[in-house]
């Protein structure tokens, strides 16, 4: 086979199915035959042209599971036939000042899979070895794909906090990120509060591990959290700054609001709420390949699974539209190869 198929996008939402030339991987890279690729809200940066040069075609998709079918020069730790994953942060350079300090997430020469370099809406992907994630044998390619971004984001946001056993942790938003966050918070031994608009998701939240449910459309979530004693941490996953604004008042002293939802509107901060009790607001960008491996391994051992629906990869534009419309429950995974 000398070519492979891929969905590339230019401008805003201009998808095209194209044939691309197959070539050997560059030094320090591997070539993957894609098995599955999750559809993530962050794909919008490519699909909607929110990048440096939208006129240049790029293949979206960064929750990729595939099998190595070729390795570049200088690659010795990875072998043809291994099943691996690739996430949004495509592998640090190990040479820039941030890398030299061990801050690999903020590497200044790191590809952003599916945005600055081609991603997984394709039959083939090329990836840096520093960005490869080993996938355990006891998890399927469909189950593994959403863990590479949505799972890693919520898991690492939780384990990165200095929380005592039995801490009160709130997960705001019961969607693609939040439904995983509830499971992780429960498996990590915390008391879990789910926050969402309306009551229809309350039974699901309970099944996923929530001890309490707050309907933010019916009551002030900050006041409701204070009635429970105050949250030691709140993981905000909804793509809305306005919905995050009332949460700060619900934190316990020294509590932390961690923003992981990609919202474009601002969060309004009441300064006394921030200063009183030494409360904090932070954000979480992503994880290294090693941290993503930890997420996948923890999920496989503890039975954390994304709620997924699968679609043929040839329907990638339709799958993306379904995700953006909020119709997915809760992650869509493209099946690229059997």
pLDDT at 338: 60
Q: Residue 1 pLDDT more than 80? A: no
| Number of Cβ atoms within 10 Å of the Cβ of 326 | 11
My answer on whether 212 and 167 are in the same domain is yes
DSSP 76-139: -S--TT-EEEE-SB----S-SHHHHTT-GGG-TT--BBTTTB--SSBSEEEEEGGGEEE--TTS
* Same domain assignment for residues 141 and 166: no
Instruction: Report the distance separating Cα 145 and Cα 151, nearest Å.
Output: 9
Q: For residue range 22-57, what is the model confidence (pLDDT) as tens digits?
A: 999 999 999 999 999 999 999 999 999 999 999 999
Please tell me the predicted confidence (pLDDT) of residue 256.
Answer: 97
Host domain of residue 250: 151-283
Residues 166 and 75 in one domain: no
One domain for residues 44 and 117: yes
Nearest to 185 by CA among 173, 197, 176, 193: 193
**What is the per-residue pLDDT across 299-338, written as a single tens digit (0 to 9) for each?**
999 999 999 999 999 999 999 999 999 999 899 999 999 6
User: Do 155 and 133 reside in the same domain of the chain?
Assistant: no
181: nearest Cα among 202, 160, 148, 152: 152
Q: Which residues of 300-324 are buried (b: 16+ CB within 10 A; e: fewer)?
A: beeebbbebeebebeebbebbebbb
Whether residue 273 is contained in a domain is answered as yes
Confidence (pLDDT) at 117: 97
Mean pLDDT lowest among 22-31, 76-85, 275-284:
275-284
For residues 132 and 247, membership in a common domain is answered with no
305 forms bridges with which residues in the sheet?
Answer: none
166 located within any domain: yes
Residue 291 lies in a domain: no
Mean pLDDT value of segment 244-253: 96
Whole-model pTM?
Answer: 0.95
Strands, E assignment, the chain: 3-10, 14-21, 29-39, 63-71, 83-86, 124-128, 132-134, 168-172, 191-196, 212-215, 231-236, 251-259, 280-283, 308-312, 331-335
48: domain CATH number is: 3.90.180.10
- Of 157, 156, 180, 96, which is closest to residue 130 (Cα–Cα)? 96
Q: Are 234 and 326 in a shared domain?
A: no
- Does any domain span residue 296? no
Judge if 139 and 162 occupy the same domain.
Answer: no
Number of domains in the chain: 2
Residues 175 and 56 in one domain: no
Phi, psi of 11 (to 5 degrees): 55, -135
Q: Which of 51, 55, 82 is nearest to 68 (CA)?
A: 82
Q: Give the distance, in angstroms, between the CA of residue 237 and the centroid of all CA atoms in the same chain.
A: 10
Digit-coded pLDDT (tens) for 118-160 = 999 999 999 999 999 999 999 999 999 999 999 999 999 999 9
């Amino acid at each position: 086979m000398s070519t492979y198929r891929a969905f590339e996008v230019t401008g805003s939402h201009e998808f095209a199915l194209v044939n691309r030339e197959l070539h050997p991987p560059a030094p320090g890279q591997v070539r993957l035959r894609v098995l599955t690729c999750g559809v993530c809200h962050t794909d919008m940066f490519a699909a909607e042209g929110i990048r440096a040069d939208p006129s240049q075609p790029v293949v979206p998709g960064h929750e990729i599971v595939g099998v190595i079918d070729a390795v570049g020069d200088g690659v010795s730790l990875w072998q043809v036939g291994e099943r691996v994953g690739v996430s949004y942060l495509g592998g640090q350079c190990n040479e820039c000042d941030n890398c030299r300090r061990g801050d690999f997430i903020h590497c200044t020469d790191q590809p952003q899979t599916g945005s600055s370099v081609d991603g997984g809406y394709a039959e083939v992907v090329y990836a840096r070895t520093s960005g490869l994630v080993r996938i355990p044998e006891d998890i399927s390619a469909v189950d593994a794909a959403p863990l590479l971004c949505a799972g890693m984001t919520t898991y690492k946001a939780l384990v990165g906090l200095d929380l005592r056993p039995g801490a009160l942790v709130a997960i705001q938003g019961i969607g693609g990120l939040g439904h995983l966050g509830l499971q992780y918070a429960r498996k990590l031994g915390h008391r879990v509060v789910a926050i969402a608009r309306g009551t229809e998701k309350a039974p699901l939240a309970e099944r996923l591990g929530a001890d309490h449910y707050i309907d933010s459309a019916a009551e002030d979530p900050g006041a409701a959290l204070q009635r429970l004693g105050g949250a030691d941490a709140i993981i905000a996953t909804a793509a809305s700054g306005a919905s995050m604004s009332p949460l700060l008042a619900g934190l316990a002293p020294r509590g932390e609001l961690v923003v992981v939802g990609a919202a474009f509107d601002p969060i309004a901060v009441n300064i006394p709420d921030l200063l009183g009790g030494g409360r904090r607001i932070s954000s979480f960008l992503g994880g290294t390949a090693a941290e993503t491996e930890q997420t996948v391994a923890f999920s496989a051992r503890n039975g954390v699974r994304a709620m997924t629906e699968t679609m043929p990869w040839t329907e990638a534009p339709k799958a993306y539209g379904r995700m953006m419309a909020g119709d997915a429950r809760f992650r869509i995974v493209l099946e690229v190869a059997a």
